[in-house]
Amino acid sequence: MSTPSIDAHTIHAAGVERLLASYRAVPPTASVRLAKHTSNLFRSRAKSDAPGLDTSGLTGVIAVDTEARTADVAGMCTYEDLLAATLPLGLAPLVVPQLKTITLGGAVTGLGIESTSFRNGLPHESVLELDILTGTGDVITASPAEHEDLFRAFPNSYGTLGYAVRLRIELEQVDPFVEIRHLRFHSLPDLIAAMDRIVATGDLDGDRVDYLDGVVFSADEGYLCVGAQTAASGPVSDYTGQKIYYRSIQHDAGTTVDRLTIHDYLWRWDTDWFWCSAAFGAQRPLVRRLWPRTLRRSSFYGKLMRYEQRFQIGDRLEWLRNRPRRERVVQDVEIPIERCAEFLEWFLATVPIEPIWLCPLRLRDDGGWPLYPIRPRQTYVNVGFWSTVPVGSTEGETNRRIEDAVGEFDGHKSLYSDSYYSPEKFDGLYGGDVYRSVKDRYDPDSRLLDLYAKAVLRR
């Protein structure tokens, strides 16, 4: 068992005091926001002159208990920093979202997912308790045993019910390496059927499966990436240099096998921001050789994207080429697995975006998460697509069509990017009655933003 670090607890306590002091400094008439240097949200926000909350002391790992397999972590600690502390101990969070700068608090209040989600659910389900700064200026410990209403409503609230100050999460034991089998499919129904069998049994041809996701390149080219932990040493691939992970998946037929260290497997998507680094030329061989390795990461591409949006560089280039502006379509949606092949066929016939990421999930907890009410004991597939399309005749035309289709296929959509729902539709999809009840209790003066205003009106 690792004993808690006095320094880490002292640093955290001082960070909480700075947070509270910065909260008290916000004028009563101003909305409360975090002062963040990075973000993994993809929706624009209205600018605010109000000072943000000081989270500078809330970025570290407080303690790791190797016997209980738990970690106490500050709310603004990134998964990159958490893994740096746990992997040397042979431990990892139950779900590690794909991008290094995603924070623990962000993954819980805004949802997260990865290739362990078919067996471990979503990140908020491995939270045992958390301290939350609420709209009243109080720090409250929420768990299934106390303040359960806030504990249950916090996931998918995006900071509108409070901010995570400390989280205690479950960890699991991991081996040093991951062996991945890439299975080629020429039919989307066949791919989804194989995924469904693996989720149901937890194995492939009698071999245990620890990780499961997939990539669709076209209607007749899709892959399942089936991973298993192993302690056996041997040669491993490196996709932080010239080789690109998602391109390594592709092959003509059958199955190929690859091996990565557990560290490189967990961050396999970060180096190229899945495949989105291509938009900046980072996948061109000459550019890639010149591009510093330390800047081949999602956080740097995110900065470039925000710079491009600020100065509308993409729209200006399209204008110079006498082409229409582009609409950003950056979304993750959950589709019941029995409707997933159908949805993918509709998407590929309707939206000119590829590749598409697939990640199956099943909730672990039957207690319910009212602000993202997908059904327990139901397998869903997270379908992720991130690109741009030519603008239509109305604002957000393609995003609106996708929202309608997700509803028609009995799915649900994450709120980290652009949304266009009406207030009534939004209420029905995202637990409006429960949200207002919890909001009234823990933020009676509406010091924090409203979820609809933040997610749809972009305030």
Given a cut of 90, whether residue 47 has pLDDT beyond it is no
pLDDT of residue 319: 83
Tokens representing 91 are: 């431990």
pTM to 2 decimal places: 0.94
Given a cut of 80, whether residue 51 has pLDDT beyond it is no
Lowest mean pLDDT among 78-82, 171-175, 318-322, 359-363: 318-322
Given a cut of 60, whether residue 152 has pLDDT beyond it is yes
| Beta-carbon count within 10 A of 391 CB | 17
pLDDT of residue 43: 54
Query: At 256, is the pLDDT very low, low, confident or very high (cuts 50, 70, 90)?
Result: very high
Given a cut of 80, whether residue 4 has pLDDT beyond it is no
Whether residue 156 contacts residue 110, with contact meaning beta carbons closer than 8 Å, is answered with yes
Class of domain 6-174+440-455 (CATH, top level): alpha beta
pLDDT of residue 314: 79
pLDDT of residue 287: 97
Q: What is the 3-state secondary structure (H, E, C) of 328-381?
A: EEEEEEEEEHHHHHHHHHHHHHHCCCCCEEEEEECCCCCCCCCCCCCCCCCCEE
pLDDT of residue 49: 60
pLDDT of residue 37: 60
How far, CA to CA in Å, does 445 sit from each of 377, 437, 441? 38, 13, 10
How far, CA to CA in Å, does 442 sit from each of 30, 149, 447? 17, 10, 10
Q: Is 156 left (phi over 0), alpha (psi -120 to 50) or beta?
A: left
Given a cut of 70, whether residue 220 has pLDDT beyond it is yes
Structural domain spans, the chain: 6-174+440-455
| Beta-carbon count within 10 A of 269 CB | 23
Of the candidates 24, 154, 165, the residue with the CA atom closest to the CA atom of residue 447: 24
pLDDT in tens, 397-451: 999 999 999 999 999 999 999 999 999 999 999 999 999 999 999 999 999 999 9
Cα three-residue angle 304-302-22, rounded to 5 degrees: 110
How far, CA to CA in Å, does 97 sit from each of 68, 226, 377? 22, 17, 22
pLDDT in tens, 84-104: 999 999 999 999 999 999 999
Given a cut of 90, whether residue 30 has pLDDT beyond it is no
Beta pairing, strands 163-173 & 177-185: unpaired
As a whole number, the mean pLDDT across the chain is 94
Q: Please state, in angstroms and rounded to a whole number, the distance separating the CA atoms of residues 330 and 453.
A: 19
Given a cut of 60, whether residue 55 has pLDDT beyond it is yes
Return the bridge partners of 386, or none.
330
Average pLDDT value for residue range 340-368: 96
Average pLDDT value for residue range 8-19: 94
Given a cut of 70, whether residue 393 has pLDDT beyond it is yes
